[in-house]
Amino acid sequence: MGEPAGIGGEIALKAWLARGERDLPPFVLLDDPARIRALAASLGWDVPVAEIAAVGEGAGRFADALPVLPVPLAVPAAPGKPDPANGRAVIDSIDRAVALAQAGQVAAVVTNPIQKSSLYQAGFRWPGHTEYLAHLAGLPDDGTVMLLEGGGLRVVLATIHVALARVPDVLTADAILHVARVTNAALKADFGIAHPRLAVAALNPHAGEAGSMGREEIELIAPAVAALVGEGIDASGPHPADTLFHAGARSRYDAVVCMYHDQGLIPLKTLDFDTGVNVTLGLPFVRTSPDHGTALGIAGTGQASASSLIAALHTAARIAARRASPA
């Protein structure tokens, strides 16, 4: 579902309308059918909505109608105006999707963007989707890894939803090692890369200038890279971030281990704002999502692009197929 006051509903409708030309895998939307019908009508889009009782009905209906497994809202959704009263329904949609994946009834979970500030008012206590999915899988909050892919670039984050001022305090060699190990395994199993190459970014400008601009590279990052190499992982660094993302540099690695959120997301969204995909590594089920937010300012107008959601659906299908038939 995602935030019902955001663009999740309309990009799901747009994705369904593009199902033939974009060769989309069949999907089921967990949402309020009345909301989706009303949204399609308000936008003037001819999208038949098929309310289904079980997810297994979805594939058979997908060609002719958008299958919706009902998750009722507490109050009608107003585009651009999140209501905490609907927070429980948003959380329920995530819970149900994960339960279906864990039961093997769906191949993957693709989540629409949530409005965390609204969910916090409904009692949601996790920093974001990634940490909550780890909780549902029985993992610690830091048990998973956020990978973003787009524009020929993949980035993973050693710290995620942490204020920039706190990054030096929470960044550890163990966190870097965990992220790199999980990424190395996932690139092999889920992305079909036999010998992954990992570039590890520095935290400070110029990789700390031999300690004159910070010692994290000397005390945390370089020892972590050495440990990874000792385990047989093709890792290098710490590399100054300002020279790590141009085309020539990108040809030398398969993913970058970034030290904080914006270090990875700024270059990725600059390269490919429209079709970037968020993949959660380390889960026992497949999860992807569009790499954008709820876009409350344009919600309900029909202007939102479904390109990132469509890319997330395709990525989820590819990973699920690889897991079902490992090489």
Residues at the binding site for a divalent metal cation are 161, 206, 261
Sequence-distant (6+) residues with CB within 8 A of 111 are: 2, 94, 97, 129, 287, 288, 289
Sheet containing 153-157: order of strands? 109-110, 287-290, 277-281, 145-150, 153-157, 255-258, 197-201, 234-239
Count CB neighbours of 27 within 10 A: 23
Binding-site positions: 129-130, 161, 206, 261, 269, 278, 287
Maximum CA pair distance of the chain? 63
Q: What is the DSSP letter of 306?
A: -
Binding-site positions for substrate: 129-130, 269, 278, 287
